[in-house]
């Protein structure tokens, strides 16, 4: 987790039930899902499972158009403070690593 910005990820999330370190990729996906849950669901105090977080992340990043706003909050530090990525400086925003994250032209579905 050093050199990363992962909202809603706690130190307990950084290790699995066997005490092994969780991968940064897994923690990013869980952070994206938890950011999305803020707008998707009312929090009832229950903790989501790893499987629920990954399923929500995958649904968001495979949507057409991409539901990328929950992926704007995660970032990895780069060695150069002059690097700009999204609204971060000196960090690479996770959203910017996703294919088609920037919709230039939106075409409404026919059935609307």
Q: Number of folded domains in the chain?
A: 1
Distances (CA, A) of 46 to 41, 42, 97: 12, 10, 30
Residue 110 covered by a domain: no
User: What pLDDT, on the 0 to 100 scale, is given for residue 89?
Assistant: 93
Q: Give the mean pLDDT of 61-90.
A: 91
**Residue 3 to residue 31: CA distance in whole angstroms:** 15
Residue 106 covered by a domain: no
User: What pLDDT, on the 0 to 100 scale, is given for residue 85?
Assistant: 92
Residue 61 covered by a domain: yes
Q: Does 93 score more than 90 pLDDT?
A: yes
Give the range of the structural domain holding residue 14, as residue numbers without chain letter.
Answer: 4-97
User: What pLDDT, on the 0 to 100 scale, is given for residue 76?
Assistant: 93
């Amino acid at each position: 987790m050093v050199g990363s910005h992962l909202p809603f990820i706690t130190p307990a999330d950084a290790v699995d039930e066997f005490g092994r370190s969780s991968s940064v990729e897994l923690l990013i996906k869980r952070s994206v899902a938890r950011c999305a849950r803020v707008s998707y669901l009312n929090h009832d105090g229950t903790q989501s499972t790893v499987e629920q977080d990954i399923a929500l992340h995958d649904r968001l990043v495979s949507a057409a158009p991409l539901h990328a706003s929950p992926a704007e909050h995660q970032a990895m530090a780069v060695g150069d403070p002059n690097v700009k990525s999204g609204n971060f400086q000196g960090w690479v925003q996770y959203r910017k690593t996703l294919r088609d994250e920037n919709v230039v032209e939106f075409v409404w579905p026919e059935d609307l």
